[in-house]
């Protein structure tokens, strides 16, 4: 019997397990294939400001709370694991190409200024001074110095080491259903026929969180994203570059020496794992439009995974729909950014029974019953 059983060993499940173990709880994580879900695809942007959507102010506040925690969180994971997580603090440049894109940048800047967020308009020349590999066709830029990035896969590997070093037990098995006795979650059933008893169960199955038998229906759905990894990009970019290419969004995120991530599509296609010719074409076409040197790079990986989407694009945190069940899911396009704050508030809830104020707007009762 564990104090806590965590279903899912992606970034969210592992970070939560690690933090809970640090609070003195006995924790077991169950995942048949840890680190192969959305966490394997993530570009690793820690970008509350450039990701901020209109009418998403509550999510923005949570993102800002998390990005503030990132430097200490990264240092802590690195100290506990002995490996780097590749935190980059060079900021993010958003650029536009035609009059419509520049109008959109102006609107975005006005929205950010209204919310008191730090962002600086750059001329085309200033944009290219910062990122000399940008095409001369850039018509304007917006520099967000506080939006950073991390190497998501390195982070997952480090969390796996840190969590186990803190005493977390990892069971490599598939969860088949939630164990419920007398209306209370009491553990997990697994594919090998085993049952894991626990005082509290944390649901952290990413996009699969809405489909675990005996969990009451949750508004989590898969939002497909295709993403590319390229090699040979040494010194190509200083920091993340995001662009509006004739109204379509693309981002380029440098990581690990000579590597570059180009992402991502957003598609409503259920759990479709297909990497399509059209998806790869559009991403490469737009990335090469923004940074022509991308055409010389080696395309080393293509991947499609599913963001855990919710109706308001914000996570589900805190007490679940059954006693004994805690939610840490629905992080949609911000799961890497929100890893530190999610782990912290969930561990606090597990250790003390109190959900910190910062997470209060994200409980599932905001959607009604
Ligand atoms: C293309 C793409 C780009 C992205 N870019 C960014 C970004 O730049 N910044 C950012 O902050 N976020 C980004 N995201 C979002 C981010 O990846 C997710 O929000 C985050 O990874 C969610 O983490 P998770 O641990 O909840 O889910 P996952 O990483 O999906 O982990 C869930 C785990 O549950 C396990 N699992 C599922 N079902 C079962 C079962 N029945 N039994 C046992 N185990 C099971 C899986 O094996 C998996 O390990 C991106 C996502 C995509 C798809």
Domains of the chain: 2-75+152-220+311-368 (3.50.50.60), 92-145+222-309 (3.30.9.10)
Low-confidence ranges of the chain (pLDDT < 70): 369
Q: Between the CA of residue 246 and those of 126, 182, 252, 278, what are the distances in Å?
A: 21, 56, 16, 17
Supply the angle between the helices 152-165 and 57-81 in degrees, to the nearest 10.
Answer: 60
What pLDDT digit, counting tens, does each position of 168-223 carry? 999 999 999 999 999 999 999 999 978 999 999 999 999 999 989 999 999 999 99
Q: Ligand 1 in contact with 32 (CB < 6 A)?
A: yes
Query: Which tokens is 37 given?
Result: 């879900």
- pTM given for the model: 0.97
Q: Residue 45 CA: which ligand 1 atom is closest? A: 8
Q: Ligand 1 in contact with 307 (CB < 6 A)?
A: yes
For a ligand 1 pocket test, name from 87, 307, 317, 327 the mutation site with the most ligand atoms within 8 angstroms of its C-beta: 307
Sign of CA dihedral 39, 44, 46, 50: negative
Which pLDDT score is estimated for 146?
93
Which pLDDT score is estimated for 99?
87
Q: Ligand 1 in contact with 329 (CB < 6 A)?
A: yes
Which pLDDT score is estimated for 116?
86
Which pLDDT score is estimated for 333?
96
Which pLDDT score is estimated for 369?
60
């Amino acid at each position: 019997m564990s104090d806590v059983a965590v279903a899912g060993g992606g970034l969210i499940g592992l970070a939560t397990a690690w933090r809970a173990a640090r609070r003195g709880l006995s924790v077991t994580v169950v995942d048949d294939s840890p680190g192969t879900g959305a966490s394997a695809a993530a570009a690793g942007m820690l970008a509350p400001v450039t990701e901020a959507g209109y009418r998403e102010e509550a999510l923005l506040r949570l993102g800002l709370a998390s990005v503030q925690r990132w430097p200490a969180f990264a240092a802590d994971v690195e100290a506990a694991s002995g490996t780097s997580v590749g935190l980059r603090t060079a900021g993010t440049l958003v650029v536009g190409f035609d009059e419509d894109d520049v109008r959109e940048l102006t609107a975005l800047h006005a929205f950010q200024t209204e919310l008191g967020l730090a962002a600086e308009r750059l001329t085309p020349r200033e944009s290219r001074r910062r990122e000399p590999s940008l095409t001369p066709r850039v018509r304007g830029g917006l520099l967000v110095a506080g939006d950073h990035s991390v190497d998501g896969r390195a982070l997952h590997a480090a969390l796996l080491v840190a969590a186990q070093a803190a005493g977390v037990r990892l069971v490599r098995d598939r969860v088949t259903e939630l164990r419920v006795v007398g209306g209370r979650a009491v553990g997990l059933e697994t594919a090998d026929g085993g049952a894991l008893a626990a005082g509290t169960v944390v649901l952290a199955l990413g996009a699969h969180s809405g489909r675990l038998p005996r969990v009451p229906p949750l508004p989590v759905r898969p939002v497909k994203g295709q993403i590319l990894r390229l090699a040979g990009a040494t010194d190509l970019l200083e920091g993340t570059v995001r662009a509006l290419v004739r109204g379509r969004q693309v981002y380029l995120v440098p990581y690990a020496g000579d590597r570059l991530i180009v992402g991502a599509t957003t598609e409503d296609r259920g759990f479709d794992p297909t990497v399509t010719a059209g998806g790869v074409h559009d991403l490469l076409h737009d990335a090469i439009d923004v940074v022509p040197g991308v055409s010389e790079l080696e395309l080393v990986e293509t991947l499609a995974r599913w963001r855990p989407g919710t109706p308001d694009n914000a996570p589900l945190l805190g007490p679940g729909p059954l006693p004994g069940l805690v939610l840490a899911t629905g992080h949609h396009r911000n799961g890497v950014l929100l890893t530190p704050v999610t782990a912290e508030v969930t561990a606090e809830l597990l250790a003390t029974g109190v959900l910190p104020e910062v997470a209060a707007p994200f409980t599932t009762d905001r959607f009604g019953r």
